[in-house]
Amino acid sequence: MNFSRYNAYRIMWVLVLFDLPTETKKQRSQATRFRKDLLDDGFTMFQFSIYLRHCPSKENADVHIRRVKKSLPQHGKVGIICITDKQFGQMEIFFSKQQTDLPSTPQQLELF
């Protein structure tokens, strides 16, 4: 059996879902900082409070999950979920009742 290092069951997607308070200037600043940290770590905004990142393996996903946990704001609710590429590919996305494409998978480079 030929096993690919990068297959739909090994590749992972990390989703970060959050609801952060923005009542005060300090809270808005912390929420902005958290979003910026996600972007700096390679996450992409899927919806305003949902960011996602493609990872080549569970081990790599764990690294990014630890980074998210280190940058958690003082207040608010944050959820982190890790799903396989196969599960992610089964998602159906609609915009104004029209089905749309899933976010594109980054090109994976393999160095020898």
* Of 61 and 6, the one with more pLDDT: 61
Distance CA 48, CA 52 (A): 11
The predicted model gives 66-75 an average pLDDT of 97
Tokens of 111: 């160095």
CB of 55 closer than 8 Å to CB of 12? yes
Q: Report the share of the chain in percent with pLDDT over 70.
A: 87
Relative orientation angle of helices 25-40 and 58-70, to the nearest 10 degrees: 160
CB of 73 closer than 8 Å to CB of 34? yes
The predicted model gives 9-35 an average pLDDT of 96
Q: Please, what is the average pLDDT of the chain?
A: 89
